[in-house]
Amino acid sequence: MAKITMHDGSIKELSEDDELYLSTLRHSCSHVLAQAVKHLYPNAKLAIGPSISDGFYYDIDFETPISDKDLSAIETEMRKIVKANERIEYFSLSREEAVALMTEKDEPYKVELINDLPEGELISFFRQGDFTDLCAGPHLLSTKEVGKAFKLQSLAGAYWRGSEKNKMLTRIYGTAFRSKEELEAYLTRLEEAKKRDHRKLGKELGLFMFSEYGPGFPFFLPNGMVLRNTLMDFWRKMHYANDYVEISTPIILNRSLWETSGHWDHYKENMYTTVIDEEDYAVKPMNCPGSILVYQNEPRSYKDLPLRLAECGLAHRHEKRGELHGLMRVRCFTQDDAHIFITPDQIQDEVTRITRLIDEFYNVFGFEYHVELSTRPEDSMGSDEDWERAEAGLKSALESMNMPYVVNEGDGAFYGPKIDFHLVDCIGRTWQCGTIQLDFQLPQRFELEYMGADGEKHQPIMIHRVCFGSVERFIGILTEHFAGAFPVWLAPVQVKVLPVSDKYLDYANEVAAKIGAANIRVKTDTRSEKLGWKIREAQKEKVPFMVIVGEKDMTDRTVSVRSRANGDEGACSCEEFISRVRNDIDNLAR
């Protein structure tokens, strides 16, 4: 068991396995970092230093810039502070006393934070040795407890309070764990993640590119288009089998539509706009209003519901340039949406059906996942009654399936609560992809109707649902999950035919023609290079199968097979090899 000091100075005892303990450890480490910086750079001004999911950071205004090479000296100073075993003590002051203290210490960012706090409340501080920081806590009881396993990792720029109008500060990132073993395991995962970086692999494998002419707007290259189209073929097959119909809606629509939907009020800063015929238009950031127009295109009856409209629509959202990150954070992306219109008594069955479809999607790629139920945010629209009905409907569906979930308070969409699916990749990272969002608001705003069995008009409920999420982002996730070594059915090139020399080129082309005729993606390496070089090149390209043909193969009408998984596998007939590869593809083998 461990003890921590809470925001009011009380002491709480909890297990070191508790997530609160880990976040407290990391936050306390950020204070040790700040203290070390003040020892080494007395004129540095401190901003904020929270714990984050994998560690902590501190934003600091340095008099002269520092670089990555300075981190080792700061870390050494941190270890001295840990070794000193200084008590971390809580105390509180009035607003006037707090401002005076931080003014005396020449900490203008802290003074600004204090002035933004509610009046009349005592303001909490934590002191350790010669260092005092404005902080709500919680904290460990001494610096020695912080020093189990930590490491400074990198520097980045960060605008004060996230605004480009403010000064750029230096953000120092670090991480901390309960034990050295946990830290080493985490650092090993980071190194593995670097090797799997989809931006690096995307370039090496010819999947996608970016241009300064369009930051955040991805270009898909030939191999990337094969991968993308294969995913979309799979997406269509799954949707057609589950009674969805596919639609396509325009990219640009009139401002009045976005005002009715609520996006203009809630999302305008992230939308691109233009003027057509002296009227305001917006490039769609989401597909849902277009699906609503399709629903409204003709009268609907209860017999038509559920109506499952699926769309892989191109959407655009303005993201800050500094937040762009390969395919993971872009300004245009393809959302694999579906909008499902149901009657109130169909909520549980339809949410259950969608959950099973998403489960089937992720199982194909070998992903495990966990589920979150996100509830009403502060910036929302609609009545309390509607939100209660919507949240109860999602809970009921999850509980009827015995699906474990955690509640993520206040993280729903502005129009309704949602179920989020968080994928876990092969090195333990999580990615939020699939989502199911229950919406009473847009059907009200657009006055949607259907004729009920009673002959009266009723309002449908709308479900927003994605499986991949952003197709581009999902490709980035897959690239890192498989380290570019995609399963056979997804690989842009499934087989590479390698003639031992130019003498066997005709036979190589004959073999490739047979393989291609079986609807297998195949290429022949016709370059006048040594066989070992060709094999190494195919390995770099992460091709699942190589077929090597030489004199004996040509004489015996066989092929020598080398697989990505097993290396040399010996000779077999071309027909046997084709049958094996087709079996792998047809069964979506991993």
User: Choosing from 29, 135, 288, 433, which is the catalytic residue?
Assistant: 288
Say yes or no to pLDDT of 588 above 80. Answer: no
Position 424 confidence tier, pLDDT thresholds 50, 70, 90: confident
Instruction: Report how far residue 419's alpha carbon sits from residue 404's, in angstroms, rounded to the nearest whole number.
Output: 12
CB pairs under 8 A, 24+ apart, for 128-133? 128/31, 128/32, 128/35, 128/81, 128/86, 128/87, 128/88, 128/89, 129/35, 129/81, 129/84, 129/86, 130/35, 131/31, 131/34, 131/35, 131/38, 132/101, 132/105, 133/31, 133/34, 133/46, 133/49
Q: How much of the chain exceeds pLDDT 70, in percent?
A: 99
Select, from the ranges 63-67, 191-195, 258-262, 296-300, the one with the highest average predicted confidence (pLDDT).
296-300
Position 589 confidence tier, pLDDT thresholds 50, 70, 90: very low
**Token code pair at residue 531:** 């066989």
- 366-394 pLDDT, tens digit per residue, is 898 999 999 998 888 778 888 888 888 88
> Judging by DSSP bridges, how do beta strands 279-283 and 273-276 pair with one another?
antiparallel
**Arithmetic mean of pLDDT, 209-230:** 96
317 among known catalytic residues: yes
337 among known catalytic residues: yes
Average pLDDT, the chain: 93
Q: Please name the residue that has the structure tokens 């969409």.
A: 413
Instruction: Report how far residue 113's alpha carbon sits from residue 109's, in angstroms, rounded to the nearest whole number.
Output: 6
Contacts (Cβ under 8 Å, ≥6 apart) of 76: none
User: Choosing from 171, 263, 331, 339, which is the catalytic residue?
Assistant: 339
- 169-185 pLDDT, tens digit per residue, is 999 999 999 999 999 99
* 349 Rama sector, left if φ>0, alpha if ψ -120 to 50, beta otherwise: alpha
User: Choosing from 335, 437, 441, 494, which is the catalytic residue?
Assistant: 335
**315 three-class SS:** strand
- 397-420 pLDDT, tens digit per residue, is 888 888 899 999 888 877 788 999
Say yes or no to pLDDT of 302 above 90. Answer: yes
- 348-366 pLDDT, tens digit per residue, is 899 999 999 999 999 999 8
pLDDT for the residue 218: 97
User: Choosing from 376, 418, 473, 534, which is the catalytic residue?
Assistant: 418
- Which one-letter DSSP state was computed for residue 413? B
User: Choosing from 337, 386, 525, 553, which is the catalytic residue?
Assistant: 337
User: Choosing from 317, 376, 395, 481, which is the catalytic residue?
Assistant: 317
User: Choosing from 38, 316, 331, 464, which is the catalytic residue?
Assistant: 464
**Arithmetic mean of pLDDT, 480-502:** 95
**Arithmetic mean of pLDDT, 463-467:** 94
288 among known catalytic residues: yes
- 544-575 pLDDT, tens digit per residue, is 999 999 999 999 999 999 999 899 999 999 99
161 among known catalytic residues: no
Contact criterion met (CB below 8 Å) for 334 and 314: yes
**Arithmetic mean of pLDDT, 31-59:** 95
**Arithmetic mean of pLDDT, 227-238:** 96
- pTM value is 0.82
- Which one-letter DSSP state was computed for residue 118? P
586 among known catalytic residues: no
